[in-house]
Structure 1
């Protein structure tokens, strides 16, 4: 019993020394508050982590003040969004994180491992994702009307761009794919024979009705159902090919897995749908409006934010 009493102070001192050591070497002790934004802290660890993230994503080394300004902006954005009920859940943030990884060909776990290898915690990038999500929703929601881009605005911009009419007008195409089947393992001469057959068909037919009648009685030939697409739906190479092919005629034959394939152009008509050029201009005009509105809004709410620097500014 006496021995227990004698050793108790030493034991307590040992425990205290151990706890002090753990505390001194913990991440919490290694960081301090650099800036307070509306009562929310930005720590030296936040700054160090964000610096690393910016460096690997832009291949540039930002100044400390640039990093602090970015973090302040995010705190201000998140607080303003909360005021209007825009507050994504952790599930929303995790989904955005997973989507980011998917775009890079990685699972969330692989993305976390990749970031970790460069000394970056997943929470660092999730904080940025959260700010981007809430701010985008807030600006679009609050200023929806002023961000709209009218057809008149787009058409005016198109006129000033000097584009030709074919790029301004949208076109709806009615198509019927035609396949002259080539069996698997066919010889080169068999493939060439079918290709010659396709070219002969192209030269002979003058209407979709004639194409349909002819293909139906051809050996090992398939006529697929009508497909209707607009110019916006199609990749540029196919769109250009259809534009060069007259109605009632076939596009040049191409070899596919099924055989020798062509497309019968059965109809074209001008539509009010956005052409690729119109879509490009509309998106650019929206992006310009959004950028201006976002910038002025952020400047306004940042001026009214309570920002307290706890360390000397450079």
Structure 2
């Protein structure tokens, strides 16, 4: 009787393990397991549908990387990381220390950095096939239709949260409960970097900025109020407008490319 029970538990556990890591979706012959989906849900704190969509998109991107022959060597990866460190004025040791605080290994960072690098290469290659309008007339029409994208507020009330732990700041976006004490500030052209004002001008009231580097670690800004909106003349910021106009055309082309690909590629839902 004992042997029968042991056998039952063995096969029950085996069946459970197989279910946990069973193939749920196949995208262009690339499998996505139930374990992949659960881990993505956990890591990103998102729903099953969103996690599955992210994983499907990654498989489609991987398929396109093979098609375009996109590859990153270890030497290229090292050079890209060195360039990033130089641009951010930090050392490799500092980076590793920051990763340790986040609970991430340098090996994981390298793998994620490599994936991002190859993704940028793919998007760049796809965008290079687009027909882009570089004309001043097109840029001016774009400016007139999207003046809010180029408006700057001269007085922005914010709550500033500072921490050496990125996860604490990331949690602010999903949870109202925090042990971090906010610094209230009114940012103006007299006390703030124009680039920061420009960034915060585009963030809706009540929303958070991206996490930014600071002297004391990291900071995130919650926009409380905005006043004194100013919109410059087109000629004053023509180059900036043209850059945004071209960027949006490229982004729209990439989005359309993947939307069409998504409808054509073979996706099998097994579970």
TM norm structure 1: 0.42
TM-score, structure 2 normalization? 0.47
